[in-house]
């Protein structure tokens, strides 16, 4: 159920900064029609840190309503407050999400035991599959393989979105957590290499603007068409580079604006992409074949 090309959805916004619900629903429809195999609303790419709680919950509801069960929805429900994460996760279950993505608590820097207790409390409180989101560059802390293995024993904790870009990590995670623990890459550049080390898919930023190519790459990999998968990977590298030339989601929102999917607006403290970054994004999209 949870595999292949999955997208960390941007949250389209109007130029005045309000959430563009119509554009979001249209983006979800386009993603499904292009072959995306899973939808992740209100993660970091969805600007969850600057959405109000009401906006956050509404975006999850819109995603579930629009998807209509055609592909799984993994709602972002993380917080550095355990009580707040439980509230978001309860809402995701009520809204009909298929799973939730819970980031390691940022800023307050819990210990490994603190992370274990945080995720256990959420998993005990809500009967919904949970993916741990381990992203040290954003949250400062790195969940150890040993802590993840302890959490993997909980029936509601089913997998990880690994954004460490450490390609030895999935090997050790598979040994510690078992073959059934679902490993998803959170780093576009290394998606295929991550799959080769035990992963089954990627929660992608690039898929926001190149969903068909990302989906075809993962499908080719699963079907053993390795040369084709690697050729697509090579084709996408300049786009991956451009979309992370500045803090995401600034560049990918600009890229989406070039496709007419949304404005490029991000909420402060994210600044508009710099002119040099915009040029790099546009050139990459032309080189990949997304723009003329």
Average pLDDT, the chain: 97
What is the mean pLDDT of the segment spanning 78-102?
A: 98
Task: Give the distance, in angstroms, between the CA of residue 24 and the centroid of all CA atoms in the same chain.
Answer: 16
Q: Which residue has the tokens 């035990």?
A: 198
Task: Give me the pLDDT at residue 21, please.
Answer: 98
Question: Is 4's pLDDT higher than 90?
Answer: yes
What is the mean pLDDT of the segment spanning 6-19?
A: 96
Q: Is 121 exposed, middle or buried (0-12, 13-18, 19+ CB in 10 A)?
A: middle
Question: What class is the 4-223 domain?
Answer: alpha beta
Q: Which long-range contacts (CB under 8 A, 24 or more apart) does 165-170 make?
A: 165/189, 165/190, 167/193, 167/194, 167/197, 168/197, 169/145, 170/194, 170/197, 170/198, 170/199
List, in sequence order, the alpha helices (H) in the chain: 21-33, 53-67, 82-95, 112-125, 136-139, 145-151, 169-177, 191-196, 211-222, 226-243, 250-258, 275-288
DSSP annotation string for 139-192: HS----HHHHHHHTTSTTEEEEEE-S--TTHHHHHHHHH-TTSEEEE--GGGHH
Task: Give me the pLDDT at residue 288, please.
Answer: 97
Radius of gyration of the chain from its Cα atoms, rounded to whole angstroms: 18
Task: Give me the pLDDT at residue 29, please.
Answer: 98
* Bridge partner residues of 290 (DSSP): none
Q: Please, what is the Cα angle at 60 between 110 and 273, to 5 degrees?
A: 75
CA gap 93, 156 in Å, rounded: 12
Domain residue ranges of the chain, discontinuous segments joined by +: 4-223
pLDDT band at 292 (very low <50, low <70, confident <90, very high): confident
Is 10 marked as binding a ligand? no
Task: Give me the pLDDT at residue 221, please.
Answer: 98
Phi, psi of 125 (to 5 degrees): -85, -25
Cβ atoms within 10 Å, residue 234: 9
Q: What is the DSSP letter of 259?
A: T
Indicate if the alpha-carbon torsion angle 219, 201, 93, 181 is positive or negative: positive
Burial 141-168 (b: 16+ CB within 10 A, else e): bbbebebbbbbbeeebbbbbbbbbbbbe
Q: What digits encode the pLDDT tens for the residues 48-65? A: 999 999 999 999 999 999
Question: Is 229's pLDDT higher than 90?
Answer: yes
Q: What digits encode the pLDDT tens for the residues 102-146? A: 999 999 999 999 999 999 999 999 999 999 999 999 999 999 999
Could you give the residue numbers annotated as active site?
A: 133, 161
Is 45 marked as binding a ligand? yes
Q: What is the DSSP letter of 73?
A: B
Q: What is the DSSP letter of 19?
A: B
Question: Is 208's pLDDT higher than 90?
Answer: yes
Question: Is 169's pLDDT higher than 90?
Answer: yes
What is the mean pLDDT of the segment spanning 87-110?
A: 97
Task: Give me the pLDDT at residue 264, please.
Answer: 97
pLDDT band at 213 (very low <50, low <70, confident <90, very high): very high
């Amino acid at each position: 159920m949870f595999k292949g090309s999955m997208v960390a959805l941007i949250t389209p916004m109007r130029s005045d900064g309000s959430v563009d619900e119509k554009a979001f629903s249209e983006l979800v429809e386009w993603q499904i029609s292009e072959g995306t195999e899973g939808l992740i609303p209100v993660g970091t790419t969805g600007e969850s840190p600057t959405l109000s709680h009401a906006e956050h919950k509404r975006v999850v509801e819109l995603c579930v309503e629009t998807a209509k069960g055609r592909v799984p929805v993994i709602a972002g429900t993380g917080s550095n407050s355990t009580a707040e994460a439980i509230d978001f996760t309860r809402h995701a279950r009520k809204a009909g999400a298929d799973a939730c993505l819970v980031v390691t608590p940022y800023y307050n820097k819990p210990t490994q035991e603190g992370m274990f207790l945080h995720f256990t409390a959420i998993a005990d409180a809500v009967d919904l599959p949970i993916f741990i989101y381990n992203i040290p560059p954003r949250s400062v802390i790195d969940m150890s393989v040993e802590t993840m293995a302890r959490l993997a024993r909980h029936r509601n904790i089913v997998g990880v979105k690994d954004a460490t870009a450490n390609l030895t990590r999935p090997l050790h995670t598979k040994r510690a957590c078992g073959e059934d623990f679902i490993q998803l890459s959170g780093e576009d550049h290394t998606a295929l290499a991550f799959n080769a080390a035990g992963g089954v898919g990627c929660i992608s930023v690039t898929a926001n603007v190149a969903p068909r190519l990302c989906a075809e790459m993962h499908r080719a990999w699963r079907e053993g068409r390795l040369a084709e998968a690697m050729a697509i990977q090579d084709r996408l590298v300049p786009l991956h580079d451009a979309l992370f030339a500045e803090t995401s989601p600034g560049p990918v929102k600009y890229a989406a604006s070039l496709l007419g999917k949304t404005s490029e607006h991000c909420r402060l403290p994210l600044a508009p992409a710099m002119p040099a970054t915009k040029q790099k994004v546009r050139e990459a999209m032309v080189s990949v074949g997304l723009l003329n």
